[in-house]
Amino acid sequence: MNGKHTATPPTSAPKRMSHAARHEQLLQTALRIVREERADKLTLGYLASAAGVSKPVAYDHFGTRSDLLIELYRRIDTDRVNAFRDAMAQDERSIGETAGRLAEAYIRCASDTTDEFHTVGAALAGDEKKAVVFQELLDNSVRMFEVLLAPHSALGAEQLGWHCIGLVGAGEALAAAVARQRFSEEEAIRTFSRLIESSL
């Protein structure tokens, strides 16, 4: 040391997040709020505070609380469908194994009224946008069925598509019956698995 004062180099200001990165941060924060607290706590003001941004930033990304809930609703389901489809695509399975795994995943997810998807859905009760988005999510499920069942089917693409629409409808009906306690989850899964396998 020569005793001379060495100036500390100025600290550069932290880089601002890109719009896409900030949007993702806000969505992940919103999901955490729903999981750890409750959906009715999720306002744009509360989200801004939890994410460490100003209210105008949250409003710039989502506009209204309804828009935030709709996007969160879509994201939760899409992530869940994609994760299941990717996991199923990793190994070759027989039609029986594929039908069983598909039936189990669909019935358990659709009949579980305690997870964040249903929590956000309940918060959207009465919102006219919910029905539109829910149909979009059903269409995503149909496409997932098509992808997973195509290797086991001798049906043409159009016919398989119609069959998968019917199967998703059956899955929704069976899950609703489980939620009303008309059937056990295990009975619904067995029934749905047989329907899937026999449809091919």
Q: Which two tokens stand for residue 13?
A: 């200001």
Could you give the number of structural domains in the chain?
2
Segment 79-116, tens digit of pLDDT: 888 888 887 877 788 999 999 999 998 998 887 767 78
Assigned domain for 149 exists: yes
Assigned domain for 2 exists: no
Tell me: do 158 and 179 sit in the same domain: yes
What pLDDT was estimated at residue 13?
A: 37
83 CB contacts (<8 Å, ≥6 apart)? none
Assigned domain for 11 exists: no
Tell me: do 59 and 127 sit in the same domain: no
12: pLDDT strictly greater than 50? no
From 135, 128, 120, select the one nearest 172 (Cα to Cα): 135
Tell me: do 126 and 52 sit in the same domain: no
Segment 54-67, tens digit of pLDDT: 999 999 999 999 99
Length of the chain: 200
What pLDDT was estimated at residue 15?
A: 55
71: pLDDT strictly greater than 80? yes
Assigned domain for 89 exists: yes
In the three-class reduction of DSSP (H, G, I as helix; E, B as strand; rest coil), residue 144 is classed as helix
Question: What CATH number is attached to the domain comprising 36?
Answer: 1.10.10.60
- CA 83 – CA 118 distance, rounded (Å): 18
Provide the domain limits for residue 36. 17-63
- CA 200 – CA 196 distance, rounded (Å): 7
Q: Which two tokens stand for residue 59?
A: 């409003």
pLDDT band at residue 17 under the 50/70/90 scheme:
confident
What pLDDT was estimated at residue 10?
A: 46
Q: What is the mean pLDDT of the chain?
A: 86
